[in-house]
Chains A and B, each alone.
Chain A
Amino acid sequence: MLTNRSKVVVNKTLTFSESLYFPAIFRGLMITMSHLFKRKVTVRYPEQTRVFSPVYRGLHVLKRDEKGAERCTACGLCAVACPAEAITMVAAEREPGQEALFREEKYAAQYEINMLRCIFCGLCEEACPKEAIYLTPRLVPSSFKREDFFWKKERLLETVENRVDVSRRLMRPAQKGAA
C-alpha cells in the first residue's frame, strides 16, 4: 500500500432506512436543484465571449516597425526554437528601393506557420531577436479544410492601418534587450 487511500470493501447489509432508497434519491435531487441557483460556469457563445487573459497565447502576428517595414529578417531562430517544428521560411535579399518594405537587408520571402502543428507555447516569440513575432489573444478560426490552417506570411502580417496591439505581451518582466 503506497498511499493509505485504499478502502477495505465491507459487504455489510443495508439498514431499513437505507433500503428504502428514497432519502438518497431525494438528497441527490437536492444537489441538482441547488445548482440551478448557483452562478453559471458557461457563457452563451457566440453572443457572449470570455475575457482573455492578457498573456493569452493565441494566433501569431508578424509585426511591422514604426515606419511600417516588416521586422522579420528570416533568421530562423523561431523555427529552430519551435518544439513542434511548425514554422518554415524562405529568405530573400532586399533589393535597392525596398527599404520602406523591409527593415533589414534580408527578409522572409515566405513564412508559414502550420497551426495544426503549433502548440502555442510562445517559444518563437521568446527566441525572436527582432521583436517580429508575437502571440496574441486571438483564436485560430476553425475550418473543415486543412489548407486553411497553413498560415502564410500574408495572413500573419499586420497591416499598417490595422495594427495588432501586443503591448500587454510586453508587460512581462523584461527578458528582451532594449534593442
Chain B
Amino acid sequence: MSEMDDMDEGSGIIKKFMFLNRKAPHGTVYALEGLEVVLITAAFDQDVSMVFTDDGVYQLIKGVDTKGIEVKDFSKTYRALDGYDIEKLYVDQKSMDARGLTEEDLIVDVTVLSVDEMANLMAEQDIVISF
C-alpha cells in the first residue's frame, strides 16, 4: 500500500492548511514525519502554508550534516518544496532573534513575521496542524 492509494478525492474543496513546525529537525521524528503530511496535503491541491517557530527554525538552517548522528538528512526536501507548489514559508522573527539567526542563515527564501502578523495569518486558516 502506498501513501497515494487514497488520493484523488476530487471534492474540489480547497482549504487553507497551516503547518506549524516547532521542533528541531533532529532529536525527535516530528519534523521528518511532518514534512510527509505537508507534501500529501499539497498533492490534494490544498492551500498550504508552512510556519517555522521556536526550535522549528533550525529545520531551515544551512550546513546541516547528520553523518555524526547517523540519521537521514532531509533538509534538501525544504529546497524542493516549490516543486510541489509550496511557496508560502514563514518564520517567526522572535524565534530567529532568540537564536541569533537571520534569513542569511536559512536554505530557502522565507517571509519573516512578527508575532502579531503571525497571529493574523493563523486566524485566516481553516486548519492548523502543529508538529
The judgment on whether A and B are partners is no
Interfacial residues, chain B to chain A (CB-CB below 8 A):
none
